[in-house]
Amino acid sequence: MKTDLTRLQRRLKISFAHPGLLQEALTHRSAGSRNNERLEFLGDAALGFVIAHELFHRFPKAREGELSRMRASLVNQTTLAALARRLELGEWLILGAGELKSGGFRRDSILSDALEAVIGAIVEDRGIEPCRHWILSLFSEHLAALEEGSWQKDPKTRLQEFLQSRGLSLPRYELISQQGSPHDQEFTVACQVELLDAACHGCGRSRKHAEQQAAAAALKKLSERFGKDL
């Protein structure tokens, strides 16, 4: 565990008027009651706003559902943990004995929360405008990749991510029928989702394509149920 916060500020390319905020942002709840959870709450909201604002401007023709999906592809535990690793945040984390022993400094959830807390500390120390610049610089490659359409995930991935984000079981796909001659086959697949009473079906010339169609049908039903474009 490194303790030289001056070095970390150089690494983050930002200097804090109140380095105590940075220290708080690095303190996991396992290390005591003055930990990074409050700053994470603030940072999560700031990050959500900054990315929404940026996407709104970069993609003037994207619909709301597309903007939401793009944001979800940037702001999620996996991406945030990868960015935290690039900043080497893990080396500066302040963890309790148990988490230290079990390698908490490598865990996605702890790294992702710490990065959000660092963002909260920057908002608090410097204000939203400098924080916005810092976030946009951190996400610059990810934002550039969006312009190439990499966020347009396939229906199976989107369905899985939606269910996981709500702590629900993964969808189950089942081959219902396979018809036609070897070179002209039609597959039918059923997709079972915890939130939907009836299975959703999809057809296609390959099993994989039928699964994607079934996932798309499930997403459509869930979109109606939740009143938003998934």
The residues annotated as belonging to the active site are 44, 116
Q: Is 125 in the site for a copy of itself (CB under 8 A)?
A: no
Name which of 69 and 142 has its Cβ closer to a copy of itself. Answer: 69
Given 124, 135, 190, 230, the residue binding a copy of itself (CB under 8 A): 124
Concatenate the DSSP letters of all residues of the chain into one string.
----HHHHHHHHT---S-HHHHHHHTB-GGG-SS-THHHHHHHHHHHHHHHHHHHHHH-TT--HHHHHHHHHHHSSHHHHHHHHHHTTGGGG-B--HHHHHTTGGG-HHHHHHHHHHHHHHHHHHH-HHHHHHHHHHHTHHHHHHHHTTTT---HHHHHHHHHHHTTPPPPEEEEEEEES-TTS-EEEEEEE-TT-SS-EEEEESSHHHHHHHHHHHHHHHHHHHHTS--
Task: Choose among 224, 223, 226, 200: nearest CA to 212.
Answer: 200
Given 13, 86, 102, 128, the residue binding a copy of itself (CB under 8 A): 128
Q: Which of residues 60-119 bind a copy of itself (CB under 8 A)?
A: 62-64, 67-68, 109
Q: Is 137 in the site for a copy of itself (CB under 8 A)?
A: no
Given 15, 56, 130, 150, the residue binding a copy of itself (CB under 8 A): 56
Report the alpha-carbon distance of residue 27 to residue 83 in Å, rounded.
18
Q: Which stretch binds a copy of itself (CB under 8 A): 85-93, 161-169, 181-189, 197-205?
A: 161-169
Rounded least distance, CB 201 to a copy of itself, Å? 22
Q: Is 170 in the site for a copy of itself (CB under 8 A)?
A: no
Rounded least distance, CB 1 to a copy of itself, Å? 23
Name which of 196 and 216 has its Cβ closer to a copy of itself. Answer: 196
The backbone torsions φ and ψ at residue 32, rounded to the nearest 5 degrees and listed phi first, read 145, 175
Given 166, 172, 175, 180, the residue binding a copy of itself (CB under 8 A): 166
Q: Is 48 in the site for a copy of itself (CB under 8 A)?
A: yes
Q: Which chain residues interact with a copy of itself by CB under 8 A?
A: 37-38, 40-42, 44-46, 48-49, 51-53, 56, 62-64, 67-68, 109, 120, 123-124, 128, 166-168, 195, 225-227
